[in-house]
């Protein structure tokens, strides 16, 4: 036991030393910078401004036909405005006269994306609106961050500067987040979905009042349910991977893997995927992905493709493309996602993902001390080579990134300074969704509140000034 403690202590000292080593590279900035960095809205200079101190007799207008998340957006506006200014504005369903109203979720002539938000500031009215189902609610949170310097730091602590001396530039402001799927995988979010919505994490709750979840599935291991070994294994061992000279029966990690060149396997997997999509008509993607084991199929047909393509991803991607072609006939708007993970991380030489295929690239081998695009880090250089190869042949890449020590959640994990650069690197290379895996099954991991805040802000706005905000 004592030995374990001393090993833990040494690890902690080293990790802290790493953190300090990284921290001295940047110049801490505090105070007013906290208010002014990373604004999405109101980044213009103008003499025309809405003077918040004159809003005392205004009201909040929420249309009676508003959806639950828009009604909740009205309540959130009322709550946050009261906290920030001391003014309690009533919520009404109809505006009396033209001026002195805050319109929440007002209909626009344009079609906005499901999370796209629009803020229109006039001297005598304010409109916060957005696409359905989450644009308006997210617009309210963005408004308070940028107009008042509000920070949603933890579920039980929101930083709200108290002031009526706030002037907001008149103009029309819009934002549409670049990542469709944003999952900061902390129990701090899943246990507190209202807080997750404030951070604009769109993957943890079906509650309509919070705008629900994105209709994108996490691209994750799925062979075990698309072709269950329990159901087919006894009668059709040839559906499963040939490994060490025989058809595999190992079920660990969701195995066995499939023989991905078997025509019946392609057909049945497609049928089972289509049946899932028939039952879940709102979903915009489905995962057709390898099990979490390296015991992939070594039969002659599979290996011939792998050899030709220079990676076991050769036969895997040929399979996913074939399944995606069948799925498209029934569900033309649905994407088929697959993991590029472990032995399939490297892109094939000639086979490209079909137009309806998404690649979920996993960075499990990466070093977390250096930014992923640090050319001096050998491990990360290898990942970047793979990512850049993928980004040449696929414009719908997703990322599975790792943000904790999975053995000891409480040990320092020296990645705070690389989260920002990493997210920006992913975006530059065609990433459309990011799963930041962390200690999702418990709260209070090492700096988990801070990490969750930082990750969520970065995924919402990759231009977020991570260094300044961290120092604050
Ligand atoms: Zn095979
Ligand atoms: Zn490194």
Ligand lying closest to the C-alpha of residue 296: 1
Q: What is the pLDDT of residues 328-383, one digit of tens each?
A: 999 999 999 999 999 999 999 999 999 999 999 999 999 999 999 999 999 999 99
Residues with CB under 5 A from ligand 2 (ion): 367, 370, 377
Instruction: Return the number of other C-beta atoms located less than 10 Å from residue 444's C-beta.
Output: 12
Ligand lying closest to the C-alpha of residue 318: 1
Q: How far is the CA of 366 from the centre of ligand 2 (A)?
A: 8
pTM: 0.91
Ligand lying closest to the C-alpha of residue 380: 2
pLDDT band at 133 (very low <50, low <70, confident <90, very high): very high
Q: How far is the CA of 286 from the centre of ligand 1 (A)?
A: 23
Weakest mean pLDDT among 32-36, 144-148, 335-339, 436-440: 32-36
Averaged pLDDT for residues 308-323: 98
Q: How far is the CA of 239 from the centre of ligand 1 (A)?
A: 8
pLDDT band at 24 (very low <50, low <70, confident <90, very high): very low
Q: How far is the CA of 373 from the centre of ligand 2 (A)?
A: 10
> Cα separation of 42 and 131, whole Å?
20
- Given this model, what pLDDT does residue 469 score? 85
Mean pLDDT across the chain? 92
Q: How far is the CA of 53 from the centre of ligand 2 (A)?
A: 51
pLDDT beyond 80 at 204:
yes
Q: How far is the CA of 422 from the centre of ligand 2 (A)?
A: 13
Averaged pLDDT for residues 311-327: 98
Q: How far is the CA of 271 from the centre of ligand 1 (A)?
A: 20
pLDDT band at 5 (very low <50, low <70, confident <90, very high): very low
Contacts for 308 with CB less than 8 Å, ≥ 6 apart:
314, 349, 350
pLDDT beyond 90 at 139:
yes
Ligand lying closest to the C-alpha of residue 379: 2
Contacts for 331 with CB less than 8 Å, ≥ 6 apart:
274, 277
Q: How far is the CA of 303 from the centre of ligand 1 (A)?
A: 7
CB 75 within 8 A of CB 102: no
Q: How far is the CA of 256 from the centre of ligand 2 (A)?
A: 33
pLDDT band at 33 (very low <50, low <70, confident <90, very high): very low
- Given this model, what pLDDT does residue 103 score? 98
Averaged pLDDT for residues 173-188: 97
> Cα separation of 275 and 403, whole Å?
35
> Cα separation of 337 and 372, whole Å?
23
Ligand lying closest to the C-alpha of residue 365: 2
Q: How far is the CA of 294 from the centre of ligand 1 (A)?
A: 14
- Given this model, what pLDDT does residue 376 score? 97
pLDDT beyond 60 at 16:
no
Q: How far is the CA of 272 from the centre of ligand 1 (A)?
A: 20
Ligand lying closest to the C-alpha of residue 373: 2
- Given this model, what pLDDT does residue 472 score? 78
Averaged pLDDT for residues 147-153: 96
Q: What proportion of the chain, given as a percentage, has pLDDT over 70?
A: 92
pLDDT beyond 80 at 3:
no
Q: What is the pLDDT of residues 35-76, one digit of tens each?
A: 446 899 999 999 999 999 999 999 999 999 999 999 999 999
Q: How far is the CA of 371 from the centre of ligand 2 (A)?
A: 8
Q: Domains, the chain, ranges and CATH?
A: 35-176 (3.30.379.10), 223-471 (3.20.20)
pLDDT beyond 70 at 20:
no
pLDDT band at 29 (very low <50, low <70, confident <90, very high): very low
pLDDT beyond 50 at 15:
no
pLDDT band at 105 (very low <50, low <70, confident <90, very high): very high
Q: How far is the CA of 300 from the centre of ligand 1 (A)?
A: 7
Q: How far is the CA of 216 from the centre of ligand 1 (A)?
A: 30
Q: What is the pLDDT of residues 60-70, one digit of tens each?
A: 999 999 999 99
Tokens coding 81: 């405005």
pLDDT beyond 90 at 471:
no
> Cα separation of 373 and 357, whole Å?
25
- CA atoms within 13 A of residue 9's CA, in its CB half-sphere: 6
Ligand lying closest to the C-alpha of residue 319: 1
């Amino acid at each position: 036991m004592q030995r374990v403690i001393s090993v833990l202590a040494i690890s902690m000292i080293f990790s802290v030393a790493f953190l300090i080593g990284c921290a001295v590279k940047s110049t801490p900035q505090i105070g007013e910078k906290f208010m002014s960095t990373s604004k999405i809205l109101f980044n213009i200079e103008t003499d025309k401004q809405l003077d918040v101190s004159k809003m005392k007799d205004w009201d909040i207008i929420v249309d009676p036909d508003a959806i639950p998340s828009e009604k909740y957006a009205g309540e959130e506006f009322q709550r946050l405005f009261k906290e920030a200014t001391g003014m309690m504005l009533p919520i009404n369903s109809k505006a009396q006269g033209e001026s002195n109203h805050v319109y929440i979720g007002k209909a626009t002539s344009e079609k906005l994306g499901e999370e796209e938000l629009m803020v229109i500031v006039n001297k005598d009215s304010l409109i916060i609106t957005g696409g359905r189902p989450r644009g308006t609610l997210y617009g309210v949170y963005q408004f308070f961050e940028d107009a008042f310097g509000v920070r949603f730091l933890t579920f039980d602590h929101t930083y709200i500067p108290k002031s009526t001396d706030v002037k907001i530039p008149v103009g029309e402001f819009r934002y549409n987040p670049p990542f469709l799927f944003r999952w900061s995988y902390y129990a701090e979010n899943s246990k507190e979905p209202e807080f997750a919505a404030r951070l604009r994490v769109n993957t943890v709750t079906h509650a309509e009042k919070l705008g629900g979840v994105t209709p994108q599935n996490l691209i994750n291991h799925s062979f075990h349910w698309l072709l269950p070994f329990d159901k087919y294994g006894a009668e059709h061992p040839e559906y499963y991977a040939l490994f060490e000279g025989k058809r595999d029966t190992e079920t660990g990690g969701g195995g066995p893997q499939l023989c991905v060149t078997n025509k019946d396997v392609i057909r049945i997997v497609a049928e089972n995927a289509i049946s899932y999509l028939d039952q879940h008509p709102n979903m915009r993607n489905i995962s057709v992905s390898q099990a979490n084991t390296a015991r992939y199929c070594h039969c002659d047909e599979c290996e011939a493709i792998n050899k030709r393509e220079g990676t076991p991803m050769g036969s895997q991607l040929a399979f996913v493309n074939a399944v995606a072609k069948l799925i498209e006939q029934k569900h033309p708007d649905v994407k088929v996602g697959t993991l590029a993970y472990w032995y399939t991380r490297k892109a094939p030489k000639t086979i490209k993902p079909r137009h309806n295929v998404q690649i979920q690239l996993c960075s499990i081998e990466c070093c977390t001390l250096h930014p992923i695009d640090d050319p001096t880090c050998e491990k990360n250089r290898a990942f970047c080579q793979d990512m850049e190869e993928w980004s040449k042949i696929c414009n719908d890449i997703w990322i599975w990134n790792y943000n904790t020590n999975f053995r000891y959640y409480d040990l320092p994990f020296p990645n705070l300074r690389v989260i920002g650069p990493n997210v920006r690197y992913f975006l530059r290379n065609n990433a459309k969704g990011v799963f930041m895996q962390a200690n999702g099954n418990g709260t209070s991991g090492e700096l988990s509140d801070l990490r969750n805040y930082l990750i969520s802000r970065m995924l919402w706005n990759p231009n977020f000034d991570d260094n300044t905000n961290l120092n604050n």
